[in-house]
Amino acid sequence: MTESPAEAGEQVATPPRRRKRRTNARALHLMLVPGILVVLVYEYGPILGTVMAFQDYLPAFGFLNSEWVGLENFRFVLSLPDTWEVVWNTVSIASMKIVAGLIAPLATALLINEVGKKYFRRGVQTIIYLPHFLSWVILGGVLIEILSPTFGIVNQFLGLFGVEPIYFLGDNSWFPATLVGSDTWKEFGFTTVVYLAAIVTIDPTLYEVASVDGAGKLRQAWHITLPGMMPVIVLMATLSLGNVLNAGFEQVLVLYSPQVYDSGDIIDTFVYRMGLIDFQYSAAAAVGLFKSMVALVLISTSYYLAYRFAKYRIF
Amino acid sequence: MKLLDSRRVFVVFNYLFLGALALLCLFPLVHTLALSFSASAAADAGRVTIWPVQFTTAAYEYAFTNPQFLRSFGTSIERVVLGVTVNMVLTILVAYPLSKAPGVLRGRTAYVWFFVITMLFAAGLVPTYMVVQATGLLDSIWALILPKAVPVFNVILLLNFFRSLPKELEEAAFVDGAGHWTVLLRIYLPLSKPALATITLFTIVAHWNSWFDGIIYMNSPEHYPLQSYLQTLVVQDSLSVRSLNEMDLLQEVSNRTYKAAQIFLAALPVLAVYPFLQRYFIKGINLGSVKG
């Protein structure tokens, strides 16, 4: 996010050219106008709207006439026993997803890299990242169908081994695992391709040298492929830090039900229910604001670390 | 020789494992497809795995006579066409100026931060809803388009791509008296086709797949796009009240085959663009890693 050093050079221009540039530059500013207007209203507008977290917001009074209550909403939310459960659910589900989401694609990429047959390699890749492009509504519909304890094919299959039907989506001890498993299932193929792209950039002569020295495939994977992928692994790991409070809003909203609120309610679904279903606007906004503040710190930290350790810059 | 053998065992195991992994990704979808073409009795008896049992298209016929399904399908298409157009126009118009050096675009740093801040800080659901409501978009298709009209991440991808184009082309055009609009339309855009195609495809999929905004911003379910309607069908099914007429029809078509058919129909457009998506997908990753 630092400026490129081209600035100094560009500003020294001959007078006639500068005039040309200036008239030109007006076009540039003009181009930005529509985008700025939209962002101003729909991104910055809501940021101003967060003041409602400090009000007893009533729609009839609006932001200007609603009563200011200071930190009362925060105090109220923190006093709810649900809040701590929800924070815990969010962080634990998100952390499990992050770990699984780092390891599964890495292992898959290493295994695919060992495949000699090109068509097989390409076929597997093409299939495993398909779920990434489908929405959680579609995958949720599919999962609800196949995981159903009464007629779902998964429980039918497990039944062959004498396993009692498992309520994957209705049992608090299974629900978080189902979330983590299905999320990993949806996304591992996509990340695998990122890792494979990193493997391709490794200098092939390293492998030749290693095999001349008598290193087997396993040693080559350990001493060449893995270290070669390290920058990408570090990058993915540091960037995922920004997601510690994102346990998967859309996924949870599709898959959960009141039976599993204890184990599956996360900050985002909590805010949704409190704000838009129970109409406790100010309390919901307070939770949302709290999440946004922590997320800001987490994302900034993760970008900083990614820059520090992997020289990653978003632009 | 020993080593060679263990290598062979590994290779066989590896092929089997990866094959199983691919099946694991494909099987649930194939199963749903098979279910949608099966007779309801067979489906409810759990006799369907990956092949339709007592093949029938009844579930699809039912879906296509359901006015809500057709309406939602239409809304989704309208949303994709409008939304992608707006997204792409604004992405290009923002990315081009920001791809210039700070000396060319005065205040570039401020502009960039103005947009990037929105990636770092989101106000949250409730205040965003309030703004959409206050600007009178509730129940209108624009509620699904305007709030996310500037996809900042795509802007950054595109501006990085613009920066990688040779400066000389632009300078030559300026010498010939061209302005920025001409340079953008005649030089940058034609040269950026791969990048634009990638972003367009991903935007199409994103708009098609969105459903949560439909649920919250549309007051009446008739205005739901397809995926929002599906969400109510899939998730809130037990809560929904069906008309008697619908009940009659549903006796022939089981709830499960009917859902399966609609799920598959909703996935179809993505499956249709998938071959193109995956062609650009690897490129897109490389695009994302290009640094300015």
For the stretch A199-237, pLDDT in tens is 888 888 998 899 888 888 888 888 999 998 988 899 889
**Count of residues in chain A:** 315
User: Of B17, B129, B230, which is closest to A137 when you measure between CB atoms?
Assistant: B230
Residue A5, pLDDT above cutoff 90: no
Per the CB < 8 Å rule, is A145 touching B100? no
A270: chain B residues, CB-CB within 8 Å? none
Residue A9, pLDDT above cutoff 50: no
Distance set, CA B53 to CA A105, B27, B57, B251 (Å): 36, 16, 12, 18
Q: What is the DSSP letter of B143?
A: G
Q: What is the pLDDT of residues A237-271, one digit of tens each?
A: 998 998 999 999 999 999 988 889 999 999 999 99
At how many degrees (to 10) do helices A175-200 and A136-147 cross?
130
CA distance to partner chain B, nearest, from residue A129 (Å)? 8
Q: What ipTM score was computed for the predicted complex, to two decimals?
A: 0.88
Contact B292, B160 (CB under 8 A): yes
Compute how many other C-beta atoms are within 10 angstroms of the C-beta atom of residue B290. Answer: 13
Best CA proximity match to B128, nearest among B209, B217, B203, B210: B217
Q: Where are the beta strands (DSSP E) in chain A?
A: 55-56, 67-68
Structure token digits, residue A109: 């990429």
Residue A93, pLDDT above cutoff 90: yes
CA distance to partner chain B, nearest, from residue A222 (Å)? 16
Structure token digits, residue A44: 């910055």
Rounded mean pLDDT for each run of 10 residues along chain B, 292 residues in total: 73 93 94 90 81 88 89 95 97 96 90 93 91 93 95 92 90 89 93 90 94 92 92 64 49 76 93 83 55 34
Residues A243, A245, A250, A254, Cα dihedral to 10°: 130
pLDDT score at A287: 93
Mean pLDDT of A92-114: 95
Note whether A176 contacts B: Cβ–Cβ < 8 A. Answer: no
Cα distance from N-terminal residue to C-terminal residue, chain A: 6
Note whether B111 contacts A: Cβ–Cβ < 8 A. Answer: yes
More confident call, A62 vs B27: B27
pLDDT band per the 50, 70, 90 thresholds, residue A180: very high
Q: Where are the beta strands (DSSP E) in A250-305?
A: none
Q: DSSP letters of B173-222?
A: HHHTT--HHHIIIIIIHHHTHHHHHHHHHHHHHHHHH--HHHHHH-SSGG
**Distance between alpha carbon B178 and the CA centroid of its chain, in Å?**
37
pLDDT score at B188: 94
pLDDT score at B241: 41
A30-50 burial string, b = 16+ CB within 10 Å, else e?
ebbebbbebbebbbbbbbebb
Per the CB < 8 Å rule, is A141 touching B259? yes
**What is the C-alpha to C-alpha distance for residues B275 and B77, in angstroms, rounded to an integer?**
20
pLDDT score at B284: 56
Structure token digits, residue A201: 């950039």
Best CA proximity match to B206, nearest among A135, A126, A194: A135
